[in-house]
Amino acid sequence: VPIPGDNLRINPDRLWDTIHELAEIGPGVAGGNNRQTLTDDDKKGRELFKKWCDASNLTMGVDKMGTMFMRREGADPALDPVYVGSHLDTQPTGGRYDGVLGVLSGLELVRTLDDLGIRTRRPIVVVNWTNEEGARFAPAMLASGVFAGIHTLEYAYGRKDPEGKTFGDELRRIGWVGEEEVGARRMHAYFEYHIEQGPILEAENKEIGVVTHGQGLWWLEFTLIGKEAHTGSTPMAMRVNAGLAMARILEMVQEVAMDNQPGAVGGVGQVFFRPNSRNVLPGTVVFTVDIRSPEQPKLDGMRARIETEAPKIAEALGVRCSVEPVGHFDPVTFDPALVARVRKAAEDLGYTHMNIISGAGHDACWMQRVTPSVMIMCPCVDGLSHNEAESISKEWAAAGADVLLRAVLETAEIVE
């Protein structure tokens, strides 16, 4: 069925205002957001999103991981729906657009269809996945991972935050344990619209990223055991210095990533020292190495080299070393037919576009295992993300949402 009016577009001001109204919940300290998963702010954000969905007559389903599924009925309710999702949880120093743009563009898509009186054959479901970020509870994309059968519900419920609180207790505390079995829903297709979180689209002056692949990831959690001792009175030769071992391992990770250029990254974002006192050498150092590549051999080769060299570095200092993978997904290839549909939508709408590989992980990376999936990206200023200064323009936001609307309509099929 042809799409009526080639200039079918969303309402940019309404999308922009909706994004910034949500941004008032869980504000950061520098203009961004700290709305971490399963916090009271996450609860408030969920409630505001639900209020908006209620106003658009969407019916809500919630599964046992607290993921929110907001359904717009189709002319043929028995058909598998088209899903449009992302996440509303943020990093502790997150931006206003990471995840939020995709969920609220799904809501804007619904609002636009209602404005235009368009009915689709297939139902459309807008999704807010619980704990995409993996900042408070590792791993990232936890709820979509359970949905895709990667993790069990028990594993997810047992994950602990740095204060020792469990995912299950916190989900119960905010009152968002749903009835649905996780993964029971059948999907016809899954779309995710997201900011690029990298510099390529802006540098290439392209409005739309047609995401063909997502790079793979390992999160390797290292535990180094040294010896707590006085930083003043302990002679250098007597030290069992876990902090020094960590520093040398970080240098090695940098070297491994640089040896695998182009198309590889490696680094560390989180370190815990115990007892973390200025004048006590750490007895324990725990940190997570984050390595990624779109190429499977590079990804696995980097992991193997790091896990071989790190113990040697530690042993040379008398430090004990253990490592546990706490996050992983292989490079993902999104559905070629849907990728072509996204590209065509960008062309029909007259937006500049290019193929791109997602540097960040997304719920779509797990969804591709259960249904044909694809992502759409918009540029972000200086490629900056996971930083409160994360910024996009209203025009960029709207362009990607227009492409999302068109590609979803082609998939859900207009009936009138």
* Binding-site ranges for ligand HGY (CB under 6 A): 132-134, 140, 360-361
Give the span between the Cα atoms of 174 and 286, in whole angstroms: 29
Report in angstroms how near the CB of residue 159 gets to Mn ion at its nearest. 17
Contact between 98 and 193 (Cβ < 8 Å): no
Pick the closer one to ligand HGY by CB: 133 or 202. Answer: 133
- Which residue shows structure tokens 């815990």? 272
Q: How does strand 216-225 pair with strand 332-333?
A: unpaired
Which residue's beta carbon is nearest to the bound Mn ion? 99
Give the Å distances, CA to CA, from 256 to 249, 264, 312. Answer: 10, 9, 15
Report in angstroms how near the CB of residue 99 gets to ligand HGY at its nearest. 8
Angle of CA points 39, 41, 42, to nearest 5°: 65
Give the span between the Cα atoms of 376 and 343, in whole angstroms: 9
Using the rule CB under 5 A, give the single segment among 97-105, 160-168, 329-337, 404-412 that binds Mn ion. 97-105
Report in angstroms how near the CB of residue 138 gets to ligand HGY at its nearest. 10
Report in angstroms how near the CB of residue 85 gets to ligand HGY at its nearest. 14
Pick the closer one to ligand HGY by CB: 81 or 361. Answer: 361
402 binds, among Mn ion, ligand HGY, none (CB under 5 to 8 A by kind): none
Give the span between the Cα atoms of 268 and 272, in whole angstroms: 11
Pick the closer one to Mn ion by CB: 42 or 410. Answer: 42
Pick the closer one to ligand HGY by CB: 131 or 411. Answer: 131
Structure tokens at 119: 């009915």
Length of the chain: 416
Report in angstroms how near the CB of residue 302 gets to Mn ion at its nearest. 22
361 binds, among ligand HGY, Mn ion, none (CB under 5 to 8 A by kind): ligand HGY
Report in angstroms how near the CB of residue 134 gets to ligand HGY at its nearest. 5
Pattern of binders to Mn ion over 347-376, x per CB under 5 A? ------------------------------
Pick the closer one to ligand HGY by CB: 83 or 366. Answer: 366
Pick the closer one to ligand HGY by CB: 202 or 390. Answer: 390
Q: How does strand 124-128 pair with strand 82-86?
A: parallel
Residue 99 makes contact with Mn ion by CB under 5 A: yes
134 binds, among Mn ion, ligand HGY, none (CB under 5 to 8 A by kind): ligand HGY
63 binds, among Mn ion, ligand HGY, none (CB under 5 to 8 A by kind): none
How is 158-211 classified by DSSP, letter by letter? H-B-TTS-BHHHHHHHTT---SBPTT----SEEEEEEE--SSHHHHTT-SEEEE
Report in angstroms how near the CB of residue 234 gets to ligand HGY at its nearest. 38
Contact between 408 and 84 (Cβ < 8 Å): yes
Report in angstroms how near the CB of residue 380 gets to ligand HGY at its nearest. 13
Q: Find residue 230's DSSP bridge partners.
A: 280
Contact between 10 and 402 (Cβ < 8 Å): yes
55: CB partners within 8 A, 6+ apart: none
Residue 410 makes contact with Mn ion by CB under 5 A: no
**E strand segments, 2-81:** 59-62, 68-72
Using the rule CB under 5 A, give the single segment among 92-100, 149-157, 158-166, 277-285 that binds Mn ion. 92-100
Residue 98 makes contact with Mn ion by CB under 5 A: yes
Report in angstroms how near the CB of residue 361 gets to Mn ion at its nearest. 8
Pick the closer one to Mn ion by CB: 99 or 209. Answer: 99
Contact between 156 and 142 (Cβ < 8 Å): yes
Contact between 281 and 295 (Cβ < 8 Å): no
Give the Å distances, CA to CA, from 118 to 2, 106, 109, 187, 411. Answer: 13, 15, 11, 21, 14
99 binds, among ligand HGY, Mn ion, none (CB under 5 to 8 A by kind): Mn ion
> What is the torsional sign of CA 110, 213, 382, 250?
positive
Report in angstroms how near the CB of residue 382 gets to Mn ion at its nearest. 16
Give the binding site for Mn ion (CB under 5 A). Answer: 98-99
